[in-house]
Amino acid sequence: MKQLLKHPIHLFSVGFGAGLVSIAPGTAGTLVGVVFYICLQSLSLSWYLPVVAILFIPGGWFCGVTARTLVVHDHPAIVWDEIVGFLITMIAVPMGWSWVLAGFILFRLFDIAKPWPIGIIDRHVRGGSVYPPPNEKIRPLFSVGGA
């Protein structure tokens, strides 16, 4: 798996190595998302949204390439969706450490619990060549509502 770090596309997909940790790779990926958010939080919304879109659009393609390389649709090491998903979660959230912590906790809870309709989408709808999977696109919306 460490060979993934040598290929630039896979490097992004595995969150610069965060997805390669043996315990809780999704949480590790979300922590990388927190670092990204801290770097981006001072941007105005008119700059923040395009930056997140720039990270989301090619990131989805990168994750698809890595998923095909690993021959697993939603491999736990692929955490770019957690990184960008956290950034989406934080779009409408005020600045402050308590809000970052709340966003992190809610995002992880929704990822782990997969409440309705996220769980149904996760079980029954496969993204095919679309990455991230459809459930990964909905989870940040629920996290925003909770934060």
Could you read off the pLDDT of 107-123 as tens digits, one per residue? 999 888 877 777 777 67
80-89 vs 45-70: helix axis angle to the nearest 10?
160
**Residue 27 domain-assigned?**
no
- pTM of the entire predicted model: 0.81
* Two structure tokens written together for 122: 């996760």
**Residue 124 domain-assigned?**
yes
**Residue 78 domain-assigned?**
yes
**Residue 87 domain-assigned?**
yes
* pLDDT score of 44: 94
* pLDDT score of 141: 54
Q: What are phi and psi of 124, to 5 degrees?
A: -115, -20
What is the mean pLDDT of the segment spanning 41-56? 95
**Residue 21 domain-assigned?**
no
**Residue 99 domain-assigned?**
yes
Domain count, the chain: 1
CB atoms within 10 A of CB 38: 13
**Residue 105 domain-assigned?**
yes
**Residue 131 domain-assigned?**
yes
- Checking if the pLDDT of 130 tops 60, the result is no
- Mean pLDDT for all residues in the chain: 85
Instruction: Give the domain range for residue 64.
Output: 32-146
**Token pair 């459809």: residue:** 134
- Please state, for a pLDDT cut of 90, what percent of the chain lies above it: 60
What is the mean pLDDT of the segment spanning 9-28? 96
